[in-house]
Structure 1
Amino acid sequence: MCAKVLKHVVIYTGEEKIQDGYVRFTNKILDVGPVADYHAQAGDEVEILRDRILVPGFIDVHAHGGYGFDAMDGDPEQIATMAHKMMTNEGVTTLFATTMTQSNDNIDHAMAGVKVAAEKNPVIQGVHLEGPFISATFKGAQPEQFIKDPNVELLAHWNELSGNRVKLITYAPEDEGAQAFEDYCLSHGIVPSVGHSNATREQLLHSKATHVTHLYNAQREFKHREPGVTGHAMLENNMYAELICDGFHIVPDMIKLAYEQKGVDRIELVTDSMRSKGMPEGESELGGQKVFVKDKQARLADGTLAGSVLQFPDAFVNIMRFTGCSIADAVQMSSVNQANEFGLEHKGYILPGKDADMNLFDGALNLKTTYSFGQAFHAEK
């Protein structure tokens, strides 16, 4: 197999910045380093790319849908197509297909569909089960009639249906049965994430959650007499925190506060996107509920934010714009932290032996090309 070589690019490997670099790859990264260290090999296909920036492919661990599709539809072809469009249009080379609170039968259908879709499209590396084990007090856009207490048997059933692909679960740790539920998660490689939760700081100190779903949103707020879910996530160094950096779910000042408090190695950018992402504005749907999209915001009829239409390159640029952080920091929050937290051994870095998942930007940080397992793709608007 002939190797491809990109030369004279600025490379952010996830460990260092290489100002005038090269990367040699097939479906895996073979070599990376300064151009001065490149030694041509027979069959190499060399491309000169000056004034370009290369970063690891993005990892979105919280995305429900986009481009007219949703993981809850349960259609394997559509879910695989959705993942492909997120990759080609946004540089999301690793996706956790995300479900939501719905009937047991609908979640069954979604889990079975994601399993088949993941077998078709390896961009899908896991499932994020968001609900139904959440608090009605902070249900957000999740339909209340399907909310239930944590249930190990149901979780085990859904994990089996997905082909043991559940990697992340959003739940309310204050609810009855949470301790046994957490024990199951930890023994099966599932990260327990507090979200859509009314838990107090005291309750969370006794929980085993190490992740918080969309920090600030749909959770007991930070207050001067009760830190709540948000305060707990800020205070605990082991907690990874998701941020939806669209400027609507969280105002820029609060994004900056989270960045300064948590630090670059504990924040993960997510889109929390729904099916209207990449589609014209107007009426859409989320979990059987009408959603109205206008001015880059998705809301229920009562005004509740209902997921987002955020595209990952915008989140990548916004975190720098809102916090003043560097490209290297944005890479950490877009790829590296996710790979580290979820044990995605071949993802998140541009280093020898890793999958050749990379995003090529121009100097103005416009996404130009995505490489998924070494194959080049351009946006399919």
Structure 2
Amino acid sequence: MTVKVLKHATIYTGDDIIDDGFVRFDDKILAVGAMEDFKNYPGDEVILATGKTIIPGFIDVHSHGGYGFDAMDGNADEIDAMVQKMTKNEGITTYFATTMTQSNANIEKAMRGVKTAADRNPVIKGVHLEGPFISAKFKGAQPEQYIKDPDPELLDHWNELAGGLVKLITYAPEDDHAKEFEDYCLAHNIVPAVGHSNATREQLLTSKASHATHLYNAQREFKHREPGVTGHVMLENNMYAELIMDGFHIVPDMLELAFDQKGPERIELVTDSMRSKGMPEGESELGGQKVFVKDKQARLADGTLAGSVLEFPDAFKNAMKFTEADLYDAVLMSSVNQANEFGLTSKGGIAVGKDADMNIIDNAANLLETYSYGRHFVRDAD
């Protein structure tokens, strides 16, 4: 692979800002620094990036699908194609394929398909199992007939089929079977995430959940006599919280409240996208259920929000539009925090030895180009 150099760019490395800098890379970052430290090497492809900003590639740990495809279909070719489109169109350079509450057979199929796709496409770094071990009361768009009690043996089976890729699981900690389940997760480097849950704060104080799936959505609400899931996550400084920043799942005032309370170091932007992302409006499907997409919203026939059609560059810009976050904060929420939480040591920053996963944005934070393992992608014009 030809060594490339991007120079005279503003660089947000993930822990620093370089006002006039360069990045030298092949599939890995070879050097990064201020232009005063720049050295020419014969044979390097030098690219002028004046007026542009380089940030770490986006990491989406909660996304079911897009561009007509869904991880639950279990088709490795389609999952691979879907993730390639996410990289090119959205700057997603690390992806957790997300499942949903379904039959054992369908989840098994998804695990096999994701594993095969991940063997081809290194952008796929994990699986997020969203269910089936959730609360029926807060099922959201998850089909109730497939909801189960937490079962570590079943999770172990699915993780084995996925080649150990399960990194995150959404479950209801209030279930009587949750403790053994949590112990299994922690022993196998799977992050337990409270979500689709009716847990009280008292129950959560004895749980091992360290992550919140789509904060505010499909969980026991914050109330003055019972903090619920939302209040618990707000009060526990060390918990990471996903936020769907499309302006529909959560109104901007509540996004600002979460940002003020959690801070940029504990929020992770997610899309929670479904197969309709990047597709025309109209009828679609989620977990065998009809979904109707209109005005950038995906809903079941009864009006329940069903995932999203949010694209990651919009979530990134909305973080600065709907809250007091600045560009540095948005970088933390879109990449750095995810890498830190899930031990993705080669991701989430622009530093020597890390994968050459970078997004190039303009002064309005619009995504222009992406490098994934040093491979160059130019985003299609809107």
Counterpart of 1:301 in structure 2 is 301
Instruction: Normalising by structure 1, report the TM-score.
Output: 0.99
Contact 1:356 1:374 in 2 (8 A): yes
- Which SS does the other structure have where 1:112 is aligned? helix
Alignment pair present for 1:149 and 2:133: no
Deviation at 1:379, TM superposition (A): 2.4
Deviation at 1:100, TM superposition (A): 0.1
Deviation at 1:44, TM superposition (A): 1.1
Give runs of aligned pairs for residues 357-368 of structure 1, distance below 5 A: 357-368=357-368
Greater Cα shift, 250-259 or 41-50:
41-50
Supply the distance in 2 between the matched residues of 1:52 and 1:379 (Cα, whole angstroms): 15
Supply the distance in 2 between the matched residues of 1:214 and 1:2 (Cα, whole angstroms): 40
Counterpart of 1:51 in structure 2 is 51
Deviation at 1:324, TM superposition (A): 2.4
- Which SS does the other structure have where 2:265 is aligned? helix
Query: What number of residue pairs does the alignment pair up?
Result: 381
Q: Specify the code of the residue in structure 1 equivalent to 2:179.
A: Q
Counterpart of 2:72 in structure 1 is 72
Alignment pair present for 1:27 and 2:27: yes
Q: Specify the code of the residue in structure 2 equivalent to 1:5.
A: V
Supply the distance in 2 between the matched residues of 1:35 and 1:320 (Cα, whole angstroms): 28
Counterpart of 1:216 in structure 2 is 216
Counterpart of 2:319 in structure 1 is 319
- Which SS does the other structure have where 2:84 is aligned? helix
Contact 1:269 1:333 in 2 (8 A): yes
Q: After superposition, what is the alpha-carbon deviation per residue over 1:242-281, rounded to whole angstroms, capped at 9, x for unaligned?
A: 0000000000010000000001110000000000000000
Contact 1:273 1:307 in 2 (8 A): yes
Counterpart of 2:338 in structure 1 is 338
Supply the distance in 2 between the matched residues of 1:79 and 1:203 (Cα, whole angstroms): 37
Give runs of aligned pairs for residues 71-220 of structure 1, distance below 5 A: 71-220=71-220
Supply the distance in 1 between the matched residues of 2:323 and 2:218 (Cα, whole angstroms): 23
Contact 1:85 1:380 in 2 (8 A): no
Counterpart of 1:284 in structure 2 is 284
Q: Specify the code of the residue in structure 1 equivalent to 2:127.
A: V
Supply the distance in 2 between the matched residues of 1:65 and 1:48 (Cα, whole angstroms): 35
Supply the distance in 2 between the matched residues of 1:308 and 1:53 (Cα, whole angstroms): 28
Instruction: Normalising by structure 2, report the TM-score.
Output: 0.99
Q: After superposition, what is the alpha-carbon deviation per residue over 1:329-370, rounded to whole angstroms, capped at 9, x for unaligned?
A: 000000000000000010000000000000001122221110
Counterpart of 2:238 in structure 1 is 238
Supply the distance in 1 between the matched residues of 2:28 and 2:105 (Cα, whole angstroms): 39
- Which SS does the other structure have where 1:265 is aligned? coil
Contact 1:335 1:348 in 2 (8 A): yes
Q: Specify the code of the residue in structure 2 equivalent to 1:61.
A: V
Alignment pair present for 1:37 and 2:11: no
Q: Specify the code of the residue in structure 2 equivalent to 1:235.
A: L
Contact 1:72 1:106 in 2 (8 A): yes
Supply the distance in 1 between the matched residues of 2:141 and 2:378 (Cα, whole angstroms): 33
Supply the distance in 2 between the matched residues of 1:327 and 1:204 (Cα, whole angstroms): 33
Deviation at 1:65, TM superposition (A): 0.3
Q: After superposition, what is the alpha-carbon deviation per residue over 1:177-214, rounded to whole angstroms, capped at 9, x for unaligned?
A: 10000000000000000000000000000100000000
- Which SS does the other structure have where 1:264 is aligned? coil
- Which SS does the other structure have where 1:125 is aligned? strand
Over the matched positions of the two proteins, sequence identity in percent amounts to 73
Deviation at 1:380, TM superposition (A): 4.8
Q: Specify the code of the residue in structure 2 equivalent to 1:121.
A: N
Q: Specify the code of the residue in structure 2 equivalent to 1:162.
A: A
Q: After superposition, what is the alpha-carbon deviation per residue over 1:66-98, rounded to whole angstroms, capped at 9, x for unaligned?
A: 000000000000001111111100000000000
Supply the distance in 1 between the matched residues of 2:82 and 2:316 (Cα, whole angstroms): 20
Supply the distance in 2 between the matched residues of 1:229 and 1:332 (Cα, whole angstroms): 24
Deviation at 1:325, TM superposition (A): 1.3
Supply the distance in 1 between the matched residues of 2:289 and 2:362 (Cα, whole angstroms): 39
Supply the distance in 2 between the matched residues of 1:153 and 1:240 (Cα, whole angstroms): 26
Q: Specify the code of the residue in structure 1 equivalent to 2:134.
A: I
User: Any gaps of 5 or more consecutive residues in structure 1?
Assistant: none
Deviation at 1:176, TM superposition (A): 2.0
